Structure 1
Amino acid sequence: MISRLLAAAALVLPLSLAAQERGPEPKAAAKSPADIEAPIRSVTRHSGNFGGTRIAYRAIAGDTYLKDKDGKPLASITSYSYIKEGPVDPNRPVTFLWNGGPGSGSLWLHMGAFGPKRVVIPSDARDDGAPPYPIVDNAESLLDVTDIVFIDPVGTGFSRALGDTDPKDYWGVTKDAKSMAAFIRLWLNEHGRWNAPKFIGGESYGTTRSAAVIKELEGSYTDVAINGIILISSILDFSQAADAPGNELGYVTNLPSMAATAWYHNKVADRPASLEAFVEEARAFAIGPYAAALLKGNALTPAERAQILPQLSRFTGVSQTYLAQADLRLSPGRFYKELLRDRGLTIGRLDTRYTGVDYDNAGETPDNDPSFYAIDGAYTAAMNQWSRVGLGYSPDLTYSAIGGTRDWDWNIAGGPRGGSGYLNVAPWIGKAMRENSDLRVFVGQGYYDFATPFFGAEYSLNRTGIPNDGRIVWQYYHAGHMMYVREDDLRKLSSDIRAFIRAR
């Protein structure tokens, strides 16, 4: 390792010294608005069977420019709008969707779940292999009940900062939400849909974004009222993900996901027939005896420890010896490596049904996430093929599927009760629900998801200030973070959200 670092330094240092000798590079002249190319749009017409209904629709793929008060273009946001043909029905909803990251394009929900076309990958947690991948008509698209707009935030997909605009102006919890809210207002202006029923939603960090966007849309005197928020694989309270010594919350909220995974991989000795029943046992243990034991810390007696260990081993599928050495605190990374070590396999993070083979079997954590490298090739290929060929929108740019943003600003000035020690956007959803009596929330969670564990989502939305009046709809799936990669769960997810939209 040291030799590699020294070699890298040898490559970098002469360049730095040379730059110092000749002085700083001259800055490129800032582009004037006249130098910035006009936005590109492609409009095509199609039809398909969605939810059992034949729908003719117009697809609009392309750029929307965000501008400053003087009309100078600052950033281009790419979107894909699917709008039912014919006279505008004032009662027809429009749904705005995005993915997460932060730094991910909307290709996952677009080409995996709700777009009119989707890519087919194996349902049984095998990798997607090599192209060509089947791109098929998506009968599970929601176009029978709503128009749909897929949005790629700045730095994702083909969306980008323009001219001399610093892209970091859009890379942050609040900055990003403001740009998404601005886009929604522009879209409503252009399409005359201000009085239409409206839904917003996302997956993963896209649920964080949804909470921040609802604050921007409904938190001022120029409200854009929303009928429903769709949260798929939620992460709202980031204290659960804070891997810091002394923070016990993550161990508690991760435990039911460990139990579900141990059940799936047949690592539970007295394995119940029902996953749901075993998960319910794990919930009760996690929030009860296990949480109490962790909170006692060094005050936990040997007798109490002896009572917890066998139960913890039963729910996690990991040996009591290993758990004792970990002081009852099993981190997800260790769990991915340890659960199937006896089989020479690791498990996925996004979806623990997936397994992988590491360089060797001795490490503490996996080399990579087999549930991500098993699907990324198919989705990237399908998004580029559908956009560039199917929709005729093919800019001279690389589509950034994920990882296109850096140095994300996680601070939320004026956060709940003035606190910004950690990010928790769930109170923004609570406030929106208290101030909009018709606002409903759909929450869909996969049992085998460790990126956004289902018990963590339950914890986040079960806090003071969030109405407990039946307006939050919960649904669960027998897959992971992208539950729609499993065909049965795609059908269930589509049916569940279709029912949610119809029940507005």
Structure 2
Amino acid sequence: MKLVSFIGLSVTALTLAFSTPSFADNGRRIDVDSKVVTEHKARINGERFSYTATTGTQPVWNEQGDAVATLQYTYYTRDKVDDRTKRPLVFSFNGGPGSASVWMHLAYTGPRVLKIDDEGYPVQPYGVKDNPYSILDVADIVYINPVNTGYSRVLENEKGELPSKSDQQKMFFGVNADIKYLAEWLNTFVSRNERWRSPKFLIGESYGTTRVSGLAHELQNRQWMYINGVILVSPTEIGIKREGPVEAANRLPYFAATAWYHKALSADLQAKDLDELLPEVEQFTVNKFLPAIAKGGFLPADEKRAIIKQAAKYAGLSEKFVEQNNLDIPNNFFWKELLRERGQTVGRLDSRYLGIDKRDAGESPDYWAELTSWLHSFTPAINYYLREELNYKTDIKYNLFGNVHPWDRSGNNTGENLRLAMAQNPYLNVMIQSGYYDGATNYFDAKYTMWQLDPSGKMKERLSFKGYRSGHMMYLRHADLESSNNDLRDFILKSLPAEGKAAKY
């Protein structure tokens, strides 16, 4: 046993070493199969309790039983739980593809979060603080880094050679390859940690929503592991097409939300609360804007003029600009145009963030103001946290963004597979969480995906949507960190069937 002291924190750290060999990455090494266990205390949702953090690596095996990769994870369990079989277990993934699990780990659901201001902007000195809203009071959580993200890596063979790039893509770097090997890995993890009887949940953010949508089906149909809930945070299209007029029209409610935030709307619209404004814009989008775009060049002139006028008013743009774009306003044009007269651009993933360009002219911003701001905070925090608080030490570089490209996007049926998993499993519920100011995976696209996920409407009572006044990572805003975790907590608890309730229709 080794006692490690931190400011305001006492941690007992137990290091367990395995005989599996270590892996070299440009001379830096990480154990292929290892774990470090540390003990902590927290006050979450008004309740004080102790918890255990297990940080380690676990191999990915091929069909021949050879270790071909190792995935780094962090597993949090609440201590002194009388019956672990009733304790929910949440598997957490971020997206990219190629992104580590750091974002939701250190800013959303975990027991420790970034030191940032109440709106999500970086502050120094960098570091972490307690998260009083974490879902750890009601569920254990595993944060998983797919291959080449975080400390996870492809392994050399017995000759010391890495698989070819094309072989790596077939094994790991594609929609279906990603789902297949992660499902196998989760099976091993659940078995090792004796969690087969626990209720299980999947949460994914951005591309992670494609991942967990596919995993719900893969786990049920290939691993025979049934899931109680799937949470889609800032979802991608998950294979549900939104092309042409639908894609163009669906941007308008996001444009309106962003313009409202920056006080770029007319006085009458600006006077409305966002909760009042957005339903109005959504109705216009579905009932008038989408049909108008669909009519294209054959839209009657008087009708076109009325649509241009209203769309420009909702988007905070000039009528001339909307007309010149034939009602189809590209996102990058909007990010540059909305505040052009103020000499500022707005962010892509979170349009509350402002940037400044070399030239006010042009069609798109020079850089993404929100991403550079986030990297300020996340990079030092995760490197500090894993090494100095969780006592997991390695010279391997932590990849916030790893090399996983080219990514094979063919055969993406993840949305349909999620629908099928829900149909097969009456216990399975789905919740979507989106930020109104997210321009990368906009909230109205997320609503559209939810509507199209089950066209029959037979399972719509098991589908829900929650919106927040922030962006792609809505939890960076303090008010939404609280509300989004509370929504998660409620979803998890409501998705646990009553004792004795059978999984049947």
Deviates more, 1:248-257 or 1:310-319: 248-257
Q: Secondary structure at the match of 1:283?
A: helix
Select 1:425's aligned residue among 414, 425, 429: 414
* 1:361-407 CA distance string (max 9 Å, x none): 01111001111111112111111111111111122211110243210
Q: Give distance in 2, aligned partners of 1:200 and 1:344.
A: 42
User: 2:232 touches 2:432 (CA, 8 Å); kept in 1?
Assistant: yes
Deviates more, 1:301-310 or 1:198-207: 301-310
Following TM superposition, where does structure 1 have runs of at least 4 consecutive aligned residues deviating by more than 3 angstroms?
33-38, 237-242, 465-469
Name the residue aligned to 1:334. Answer: 333
User: What amino acid maps onto 2:328 in structure 1?
Assistant: R
Q: Give distance in 2, aligned partners of 1:480 and 1:390.
A: 29
Name the residue aligned to 2:258. Answer: 261
Deviates more, 1:263-272 or 1:146-155: 263-272
Q: Give distance in 2, aligned partners of 1:61 and 1:34.
A: 18
Q: Secondary structure at the match of 1:104?
A: coil
Select 2:117's aligned residue among 112, 117, 122: 122
Give matches, 1:65-464, under 5 Å: 65-86=59-80, 87-124=82-119, 127-128=121-122, 131-163=124-156, 164-165=162-163, 166-168=167-169, 169-220=171-222, 222-237=223-238, 247-269=244-266, 270-271=268-269, 272-412=271-411, 423=412, 425-463=414-452, 464=455
TM-score, normalising length from structure 1? 0.87
- Segments of 5+ residues of structure 1 without an aligned counterpart are 1-32, 413-422
User: 2:352 touches 2:437 (CA, 8 Å); kept in 1?
Assistant: yes
Q: Give distance in 2, aligned partners of 1:431 and 1:424.
A: 10
Once the two structures are TM-superposed, the CA of residue 314 in structure 1 deviates from its matched residue by: 0.8
TM-score, normalising length from structure 2? 0.87
Q: Give distance in 1, aligned partners of 2:248 and 2:255.
A: 10
Deviates more, 1:294-303 or 1:158-167: 158-167
Q: 1:498 to 1:34 in 2, by over 3 A?
A: closer
User: What amino acid maps onto 2:485 in structure 1?
Assistant: S
Q: Give distance in 2, aligned partners of 1:96 and 1:329.
A: 38
User: What amino acid maps onto 2:429 in structure 1?
Assistant: R
Q: Give distance in 1, aligned partners of 2:384 and 2:22.
A: 29
User: 1:211 touches 1:426 (CA, 8 Å); kept in 2?
Assistant: yes
User: 1:430 touches 1:467 (CA, 8 Å); kept in 2?
Assistant: no
Q: Give distance in 1, aligned partners of 2:423 and 2:352.
A: 38
User: 1:240 touches 1:253 (CA, 8 Å); kept in 2?
Assistant: no
Q: Give distance in 1, aligned partners of 2:141 and 2:205.
A: 15
Q: Secondary structure at the match of 1:149?
A: strand
Select 1:495's aligned residue among 462, 486, 490: 486
Q: Give distance in 2, aligned partners of 1:122 and 1:254.
A: 29
Q: 1:254 to 1:472 in 2, by over 3 A?
A: same
User: 1:201 touches 1:210 (CA, 8 Å); kept in 2?
Assistant: yes
- Matched-pair identity in %: 35
User: 1:202 touches 1:209 (CA, 8 Å); kept in 2?
Assistant: yes
Select 1:63's aligned residue among 53, 57, 65: 57
Once the two structures are TM-superposed, the CA of residue 335 in structure 1 deviates from its matched residue by: 0.2
Once the two structures are TM-superposed, the CA of residue 276 in structure 1 deviates from its matched residue by: 1.6
Once the two structures are TM-superposed, the CA of residue 466 in structure 1 deviates from its matched residue by: 6.0
Once the two structures are TM-superposed, the CA of residue 79 in structure 1 deviates from its matched residue by: 0.6
Give matches, 1:25-64, under 5 Å: 38-64=32-58
User: What amino acid maps onto 2:317 in structure 1?
Assistant: V
Once the two structures are TM-superposed, the CA of residue 240 in structure 1 deviates from its matched residue by: 6.0
User: 2:104 touches 2:110 (CA, 8 Å); kept in 1?
Assistant: yes
Aligned residues: 455
Once the two structures are TM-superposed, the CA of residue 154 in structure 1 deviates from its matched residue by: 0.6
Q: Secondary structure at the match of 1:397?
A: coil
RMSD between superposed Cα atoms in Å = 1.8
User: 1:60 touches 1:80 (CA, 8 Å); kept in 2?
Assistant: yes
User: What amino acid maps onto 1:494 in structure 2?
Assistant: N
User: 2:447 touches 2:465 (CA, 8 Å); kept in 1?
Assistant: no
User: 2:60 touches 2:71 (CA, 8 Å); kept in 1?
Assistant: yes
User: 1:100 touches 1:205 (CA, 8 Å); kept in 2?
Assistant: yes
Deviates more, 1:211-220 or 1:315-324: 211-220
Name the residue aligned to 1:483. Answer: 474
Q: Secondary structure at the match of 2:183?
A: helix
Q: 1:65 to 1:141 in 2, by over 3 A?
A: same
